[in-house]
């Protein structure tokens, strides 16, 4: 096939890079490009990628047994690549009106989004030990993303540990800056959770809040495999990831009728309306602290009995009473 001209780029491409994406998304996009887009659309001029060609791609993905959500995500990436072709004025060279009915896009049903009841969450935290116990309590009591919690440094904590400043996260051992401005925020803790965190910090003045035995960031995969999933199995609960704790916190805050403005602020979610932009509740530090205290943790926060060491030992050891 004749090599396409510059203004008509070929469909064989890597993921578009003009918008920042999370590090976790890049491997998924690369896999999609390598396994599906390049083999099926790579030799087609980008100008020829339309509803008909994408329909053929969808047929192959459905035949391969990909889930509706995966098909939707992969088709979405193909659309992004087509839309990434722009002229010197920043206008799309190949505008498309995508027809999902014609493409036979599968319907994405309600996704499985596990969460935990308050009693279950208390049991999970109770069975965890050492810094894992503090980490899980922090995730449940704040709604932090696990990468944000693993990336926390001592300098991100207020002196009384009642406020956490989120300005970075950790992905596969590397510290990353947030993708969006909403992720830069402060999260307020209730006093019982702050007391647990303060004992855990001890006299440390710098460095990561949570580390492995070599002083490096914790691994999300290892935490799931060695700690959370065994605890869930012991409690006869199906496997779930750390995001279930974030869902629990969101649900708990709404049950306590916490202001929606603060819920979005603490979770790092974007404002959705002009009214959201007008509200300045997040700037009222004293009010935030009051709401956080009133809402509470939502689970039984363990009371530390001895100083905790921020290391994962070879064998699990008990640091708090049952």
* Selection from 59, 67, 26 nearest residue 172 by Cα: 26
Ordered mean pLDDT values, 10 residues apiece, the chain (322 residues): 38 48 78 91 91 92 89 91 90 91 83 81 93 96 96 97 96 86 94 95 95 93 95 93 94 96 93 80 94 96 65 41 38
If asked whether residues 139 and 201 sit together in one domain, one would say yes
pLDDT, residue 172, reads 85
* Selection from 37, 45, 47, 99 nearest residue 71 by Cα: 37
Residue 12 in domain = no
What CATH number does residue 167 fall under?
A: 1.10.443.10
Q: How many distinct structural domains can be found in the chain? A: 2
If asked whether residues 131 and 234 sit together in one domain, one would say yes
pLDDT, residue 224, reads 95
If asked whether residues 131 and 74 sit together in one domain, one would say no
Residue 1 in domain = no
CA-to-CA distance for 200 and 194, rounded, in angstroms?
Answer: 10
DSSP for 108-134, written as a single string = ----------HHHHHHHHHH--HHHHH
CB-based contact 194:138 (threshold 8 Å): no
Residue whose entry in the numeric block shows the structure tokens 């049991």: 123
* Selection from 11, 16, 37 nearest residue 26 by Cα: 16
Residue 309 in domain = no
Residue 307 in domain = no
Question: Which residue range forms the structural domain that includes residue 42?
Answer: 25-103
pTM exceeds 0.85: no
pLDDT, residue 2, reads 34
If asked whether residues 90 and 126 sit together in one domain, one would say no
Residue 253 in domain = yes
Given 79, 103, 127, which residue is the final one in a domain?
Answer: 103
Give Cβ neighbours of residue 62 (< 8 Å, ≥ 6 apart): 71, 104, 106
Residue 309 CB coordination number (10 Å):
13
If asked whether residues 77 and 140 sit together in one domain, one would say no
If asked whether residues 158 and 241 sit together in one domain, one would say yes
pLDDT, residue 278, reads 79
CA-to-CA distance for 175 and 314, rounded, in angstroms?
Answer: 25
If asked whether residues 176 and 239 sit together in one domain, one would say yes
If asked whether residues 262 and 167 sit together in one domain, one would say yes
If asked whether residues 127 and 177 sit together in one domain, one would say yes
CA distances from 139 to 59, 149, 243, 250, 266 (A): 41, 7, 9, 11, 12
CA-to-CA distance for 212 and 200, rounded, in angstroms?
Answer: 15
Given 72, 103, 134, which residue is the final one in a domain?
Answer: 103
């Amino acid at each position: 096939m004749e090599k396409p001209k510059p203004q008509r780029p070929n469909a064989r491409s890597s993921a578009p890079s003009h918008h920042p994406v999370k590090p976790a998304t890049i491997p998924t996009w690369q896999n999609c490009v390598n396994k599906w887009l390049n083999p099926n659309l790579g030799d087609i001029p980008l100008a020829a990628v339309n509803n008909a060609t994408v329909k053929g791609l969808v047929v192959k993905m459905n035949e391969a047994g990909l889930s509706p959500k995966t098909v939707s995500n992969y088709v979405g990436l193909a659309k992004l690549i087509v839309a990434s072709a722009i002229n010197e004025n920043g206008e799309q060279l190949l505008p498309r009106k995508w027809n999902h009915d014609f493409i036979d896009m599968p319907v994405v049903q309600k996704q499985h989004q596990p969460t935990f009841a308050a009693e279950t969450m208390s049991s999970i935290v109770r069975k965890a030990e050492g810094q894992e116990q503090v980490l899980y309590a922090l995730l449940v009591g704040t709604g932090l993303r696990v990468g944000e919690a693993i990336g926390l440094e001592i300098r991100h904590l207020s002196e009384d540990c009642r406020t956490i400043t989120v300005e970075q996260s950790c992905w596969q051992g590397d510290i990353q800056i947030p993708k969006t401005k909403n992720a830069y925020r402060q999260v307020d803790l209730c006093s019982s959770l702050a007391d647990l965190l303060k004992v855990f910090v001890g006299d440390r003045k710098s460095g990561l809040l949570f580390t492995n035995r070599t002083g490096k960031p914790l691994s999300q995969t290892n935490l799931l495999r060695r700690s959370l999933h065994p605890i869930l199995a012991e409690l006869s609960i199906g496997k779930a990831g750390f995001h279930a704790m974030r869902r629990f916190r969101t649900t708990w805050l709404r049950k306590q009728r916490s202001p929606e403005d603060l819920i979005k602020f603490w979770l790092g979610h974007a404002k959705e309306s002009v009214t959201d932009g007008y509200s300045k509740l997040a700037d009222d530090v004293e009010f935030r602290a009051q709401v956080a205290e009133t809402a509470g943790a939502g689970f039984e926060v363990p009371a530390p009995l001895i100083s905790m060491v921020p290391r994962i030992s070879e064998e699990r050891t008990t640091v708090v009473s049952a």
